Structure 1
């Protein structure tokens, strides 16, 4: 979800959902904000015992997300930050992580909240990290999207095939 035009999502009856939050470790200050926003959102929805996993970087998010989806979690939230540098590394990591998380969600049927910031510089990441003075809280948004999708899927009476 993006700042302008983002829907106002109302999530109900989510307290019994099993949710895993997977967070990269690079860019500690930004990641602390994203994790705090994610955990706050879960608490607001009545999900007080989520699983929190830390992985080295954003590249490792898809494999961890797949593992949690296969272990019966109702929703998975992936949090990370990739900041553009002077090499094509940024493009490869962003593309791989995005495709990997999409594949996990589609292949398993488990919603994966996309809380991976892909920024040109550190200030852009800080502005989206949900810290004091940030203009956006992408950790909170990623959880809200994933849990809202999980509750929507749960309401469907026929399996998706």
Structure 2
């Protein structure tokens, strides 16, 4: 049977001991975002990441700027970030604003990773309605609560940070 999503890892590839991870999240759609941040953070902690910084910004458009500045600043410290997770929720409305913000945010987040050399996980839900967003944060209102994608983003941050460390 087909199971949607990434195949979970185990062992050393999910051992986050010694890693420093940044979570940058929006305050827009905060109820949903908080659930995603908690899913990410708890996954990191369960996999031995103890150095986690959490910073909030107003909206998704601001995520790339904040992530880049924080990653660059960390490179001046004794412990630069090994990975970052940008978390937000965009829900389609009745105007083109959704499409513009989705495109700018996704391109911006990708560019931060490429420009800084620090893995940046795209943790921005782009949903057609509130129900989809709640289900993807594991807080669905129906019979199925859904799956918290923050769990996947936490695992991806560890995996990509480990990949980055093997290349250095």
TM-score by length of 1: 0.90
Rounded Cα–Cα distance in structure 2 between residues aligned with 1:17 and 1:130: 26
Aligned: 1:141 with 2:120? no
RMSD value over aligned CA atoms? 1.5
Is the contact made by 2:88 and 2:123 (CA closer than 8 Å) also made in structure 1? yes
1:57: which partner in 2? 59
Contact 2:36–2:137 (CA<8 Å) still a contact in 1? yes
Q: State the Cα deviation string for residues 100-152 of structure 1 (Å, max 9, x = none).
A: 00000011111111110000001000000133753221112112112201101
Indicate the residue corresponding to 2:77 in structure 1.
none
* Inter-partner Cα distance in structure 2 for 1:152 and 1:73: 14
- Unpaired stretches in structure 2, ≥5 consecutive residues: 75-79
- Whole-Å Cα distance in 1 between the matches of residues 159 and 145 of structure 2? 24
Shift, 1:5, TM fit: 4.1
Deviation >6 Å, runs of 4+: none
Please give the alpha-carbon distance, in whole angstroms, between the structure 2 residues aligned to 1:81 and 1:5: 19
Q: Name the counterpart of 1:120.
A: 128
Give runs of aligned pairs for residues 1-161 of structure 1, distance below 5 A.
4-10=4-10, 11-70=13-72, 71=74, 72-131=80-139, 133-156=144-167, 159=168
Give the secondary structure class of the aligned counterpart of 1:53.
Answer: strand
With the length of structure 2 as denominator, give the TM-score of the two structures: 0.86
Once the two structures are TM-superposed, the CA of residue 98 in structure 1 deviates from its matched residue by: 0.2
- Separation in structure 2 between the aligned mates of residue 13 and residue 38 of structure 1, nearest angstrom: 15
Stretch moving more, 120-129 or 6-15: 6-15
Kept in 2: contact 1:19–1:51 (CA 8 A): yes
Partners of 1:23 and 1:78 within 8 A in 2:
yes
